[in-house]
Structure 1
Amino acid sequence: MSTKSLIDSAVFNSTTSGLKGVADKLFAHWFSRLVYAQIWEDPQSDLDALQLKPGANILTISSGGCNALAYLSAEPAAVHAVDLNAAHLAMLDMKKKAIKHLPDYQAVLAFLGDANHTDNLKRYKRHIRQQLSDDASNFWESRSLSGKPRYHYFTSQAYQHGLLGNFIGFAHFFVRLMGGDMSKMMQARNLEDQARLFEQYIAPVFETRLFRLIASQPLALYSLGIPPSQFQELKQDAKQGLHVLFKERMRHLACDFPLDENCFAQQAFARRYDCQKQAALPMYLQRQHFSSLRNNVDRLHPHHTTLTDFLLGQPRASMDAYLFLDAQDWMDKQQLTELWREVTRTAAPGAKVVFRTGGTASPLEAKLPAEILSVWHTDSAHNSALSATDRSAIYGGMHLYTKI
C-alpha cells in the first residue's frame, strides 16, 4: 500500500465526521511527507522499562529511526521497524546504511551527528548511495523544494528539515517575535541557570494572547504529528488551558535534565547536536554503542505497513517487546481492539508493551474488552516514574504493560 493509503487507514475511523472529518483529511495530507528526521521518544527510558534479555524480538514504530537503531544495543534477535510513512523508512535506511558502510565512527558522527559537512556529499556518494533500498534511493535522490536532491540535507543541518524541524525553526522565530529567545537556554551551565533562563526568555511567551490563540488551533500542531484525535486528549488534560500545559511540558524539557545530557533539548534550543559531548548525542550515535550497533545492524528490518497487519503475519507467542510511540492516541475502539488482539496472540510470556500518550491517561482501560485487559498488568505509579525519565518531555504519559 502507498503511504497515503496507510495513513488514511490509520487516521480515518469511526470518529471521522463533521468538522473533525475535515480536520482528519487535512492532517492525513500533511502527514504524508517527512515529519520526523529524528525521533522524540527517549530510547533510554524505553530500554529501562523493557529490561530486555539478549535475543529478544522487538516491534517498534520507526519514525525517524533513532530508537529502532538504539534498541540494537540490547543484542536483540530482531528489531522490526514498522511505519505508515515511507519517508520515515527512507530516513531509517539512510541511518542504517551509514552505520554499516561508512569507514569508522568519526565518519558516522560527521554524517549523522553533525549532518552539516560538505564532505558528507562524498561520504554519501562513495559509501551509502549504492547500498540504499530502492524506495529509500528514490526518496533521497528526488529533489526537495530547494531544487537539490534530498541527500543534501546532510550538508545543511539534516535535522532542521522535515515538518518537525521546520516547526522548531518557526518556534524560534515566533518566540523572538514575542520578545523571547529559545537559543538563550544554551548559555546555561547548570540546572539553576536553566530554570532562570527559561523563566526569563521562554515562559512569558506562553502567556501572550497570540500564543493562547495559536495553541487552541489543531492545525497549528500538525507539524508535531499531533492529529485531531490526540488534540482532543490534550484538551481534556489542559484544565488551566492548553497554553499552560504546553508551558509545563516545555519547562520539563528545558529545566529537569542537564542540557549537556539531553539530545532532545539540544535540538529544541540549539537546533543541532553537540558532537563534542557524548552524553549530548542520541543513544544510537554514542561511541559506546557503535560496535554493537554496527555488528547488529542487519537485525533491523523495515516494514511499510500498519502495526496490526504486521502482527497478523507473525507466529503465536513470538514477540518479546512492543514500542508503539503515541500511535494509539490515533485509534478508535475498533482499531485498538484489533491491534491488541494481535499483540496478545503474538506476545511471549512476560512480553512488554511501552507507549506514550498525549494526555496522562492510557486509552486501554476505556477501550479494550475485559478479556484482553485481563492478561496484561500495568502499574500507574511505575508508569508515572517512567514518564518522568523521558528527556523528550513532550508527552503526558509513558505506559508499560506486561503479559501475565
Structure 2
Amino acid sequence: MTLIEPAGVGARINRAVVRSRAMSRAGLLERTFSAAFRGLVYPQIWEDPLIDMEALALTPGDHVVAIASGSCNVLSYLTASPASVTAVDLSPAHVALGRLKVAAARHLPDHTSLANFLRHADLKSNIRLYERHIRPHLDTQTRAYWDGREDFGRRRITRFARGFYRTGLLGRFIGTAHILGRIYGVNPRQLLSATSLAEQRQFFDTRIAPVFDSRSFRALTSLRASLFGLGIPPAQYEALAGGHAGGVAEALKQRTEKLVCDFPIRENYFAWQAFGRGYGPGEDASLPPYLERRNFELVRRNADRLAIVNESVTDLLARRADGSIHAFVLLDAQDWMTTRQISELWGEITRTAAPGARVIYRTAAADSPLPGRVPDAILDQWDYLESRSMNLGARDRSAIYGGFHLHVKR
C-alpha cells in the first residue's frame, strides 16, 4: 500500500519553491528540490523549542499557528497548555510524521514506551507498539503512509526499528557528512566524549575547522544541490551564501563552530543528532520537552489540542477570524518566498493577529527579509524586538541559522 498524494500537494510545493523557467539551470534545481520535499526531509525539527517558548510566552488561552516540519516543537508547545496549536506543512510525509507522534503521545501506555518509540527509535519491539497502540488510532491517510512500502519492500514504519533519525533527507545528509569526515580523517562521534567546552573547542579547531577550510570541501559546497539534504532550496542557498564573504563554506563553518563550541554537549541534543545520529543516553540526556519524562502526562493530556494539516500558512489563515491567533511560528519558510508571497502572508497574519500576538521566524542570513518586501502599512502595526531577537538567536542550540526574529502586534 502506498500513500496517495492529496490533490494539489505537488502544486503547493512548487509554488513555494519554483521561481525559474523549467528548462533553466535554476528551474531544474528548484524542481528537483520540490520533488525531494514531497518525501520525508526532517525526522527531527532543527529549531530550539526552548527558545521558541521563551519568545512566544504561551499562556493557556493562546491559539497558535505554526509550521510543523518534524513536529517536535509543536508537541513541545503543549507543555505550556495553550488552548490550541494548528500545525501546517506542505509535505504529506511531515504531516504523517506529526500525526504519528501525536497518536504515540496519546495512546502509548507509558513514558518508557514513548521513549522506546520516539527517542531510541531503533527497536524491533517498536513495531509491536505501533500495531497495538498507535495504528488503530491513525486516520486513513496517515495509516496508509506508514503501512506503505519503500525501497526493498519494507513498510515505512520499520524505520522506527532500524534507526528513524538516520532516515529522511536530513538523516541521510548527516550520515553522508560522517562518511566524508572519515575520508578527511575525522570521526565526528569523538566529540561526544568531550567533558568541557574547552575540549569541544579543541576538537573544532584541530579536527573540524581544517575540513571546512579545505579546497575540496569548498568546491563541494559551491554546488547548490549539495545542501538539499539540509532542506535548503536554491533561494535559501543564495541567502546563506550572500551573508558571508567566504560563501557557503564559511557560513557552514561558523554555524558548526557555534554548535560545537557554544553549548555543553550534554545539554544540546542538536549536537548529539549531528555527531551521534540520535539522542544521547541516560536519564539526564538532553531531549525535546515533549520527550522528557516529567512532561509525559502533560503532553498526553493536551495532545488533542494539536491538529496537523497539509496546507500553507497563508491558506489556513485566510479561513481564520480577525484577531483570533496569539502566536505564529514560521520557521525559516520566508527564505523560500517571493516578495508577493511574503506580503500576502503578512497581510493574513496581521488580520488574524490578536493584540499582543507574537510572530517568530528564523533566517539563513542575519537580517529580516520583511523591510522593503512587506508594505509599511502592515509592518507599522508590529514592533520588531531587535535586541531581544539577537539575544534569543545567540542562545538557540540548533545553531544553524543566521538570525532569529520576534515581532509583537501593537
Instruction: Specify if TM > 0.5.
Output: yes
1:170 equivalent to 2:146? Answer no
> Residue 288 of structure 1: which of 294, 317, 320 is its match?
294
**What SS does structure 2 have at the residue aligned with 1:365?**
coil
1:241 equivalent in structure 2: 247
In structure 1, how many angstroms separate the alpha carbons of the residues matched to 2:214 and 2:283? 35
Give the letter aligned to residue 377 of structure 1: D
**What SS does structure 2 have at the residue aligned with 1:278?**
coil
Give % identity.
Answer: 43
Unmatched 5+ residue regions in structure 1?
Answer: none
Structure 2 CA distance for partners of 1:260 and 1:372, relative to 1, 3 Å: same
> Residue 304 of structure 1: which of 310, 320, 330 is its match?
310
With structure 2 as the length reference, what TM-score do the two structures score?
Answer: 0.96
Preserved contact between residue 240 and residue 247 of structure 2 (Cα < 8 Å)? no
In structure 1, how many angstroms separate the alpha carbons of the residues matched to 2:158 and 2:164? 8
Preserved contact between residue 254 and residue 265 of structure 1 (Cα < 8 Å)? yes
**What SS does structure 2 have at the residue aligned with 1:214?**
helix
1:79-127, CA deviations, whole angstroms, 9 ceiling, x for partnerless residues?
0010000100111111111111111011101111011111111111111
1:125 equivalent to 2:136? Answer no
Preserved contact between residue 98 and residue 128 of structure 1 (Cα < 8 Å)? yes
In structure 1, how many angstroms separate the alpha carbons of the residues matched to 2:264 and 2:351? 41
1:142 equivalent to 2:148? Answer yes
1:206 equivalent in structure 2: 212
CA positional deviation for 1:240: 2.5
With structure 1 as the length reference, what TM-score do the two structures score?
Answer: 0.97
Structure 2 CA distance for partners of 1:14 and 1:166, relative to 1, 3 Å: closer
CA positional deviation for 1:157: 1.1
> Residue 389 of structure 1: which of 369, 388, 395 is its match?
395
CA positional deviation for 1:255: 1.2
Preserved contact between residue 206 and residue 243 of structure 1 (Cα < 8 Å)? yes
In structure 1, how many angstroms separate the alpha carbons of the residues matched to 2:21 and 2:67? 23
Give the letter aligned to residue 105 of structure 1: H
In structure 1, how many angstroms separate the alpha carbons of the residues matched to 2:27 and 2:372? 23
1:229-275, CA deviations, whole angstroms, 9 ceiling, x for partnerless residues?
11111111011232121111001111111111111111100111124
**What SS does structure 2 have at the residue aligned with 1:80?**
strand
In structure 1, how many angstroms separate the alpha carbons of the residues matched to 2:50 and 2:152? 35
CA positional deviation for 1:15: 9.1
In structure 2, how many angstroms separate the alpha carbons of the residues matched to 1:83 and 1:397? 22
Preserved contact between residue 323 and residue 354 of structure 1 (Cα < 8 Å)? yes
In structure 1, how many angstroms separate the alpha carbons of the residues matched to 2:140 and 2:197? 46
> Residue 161 of structure 1: which of 152, 163, 167 is its match?
167
Give the letter aligned to residue 283 of structure 1: P
Unmatched 5+ residue regions in structure 2?
Answer: 1-6
**What SS does structure 2 have at the residue aligned with 1:165?**
helix
1:173-209, CA deviations, whole angstroms, 9 ceiling, x for partnerless residues?
0111112221111110111111111222222110111
Give the letter aligned to residue 341 of structure 2: Q
> Residue 346 of structure 2: which of 321, 325, 340 is its match?
340
Give the letter aligned to residue 390 of structure 1: D
CA positional deviation for 1:379: 2.5
Preserved contact between residue 69 and residue 89 of structure 2 (Cα < 8 Å)? yes
> Residue 35 of structure 2: which of 19, 29, 37 is its match?
29
Let me know the Cα RMSD of the aligned residues. Answer: 1.4
1:314 equivalent to 2:320? Answer yes
1:327 equivalent to 2:330? Answer no
In structure 2, how many angstroms separate the alpha carbons of the residues matched to 1:42 and 1:3? 28
In structure 2, how many angstroms separate the alpha carbons of the residues matched to 1:2 and 1:284? 32
1:52 equivalent to 2:52? Answer no
> Residue 90 of structure 1: which of 96, 103, 107 is its match?
96
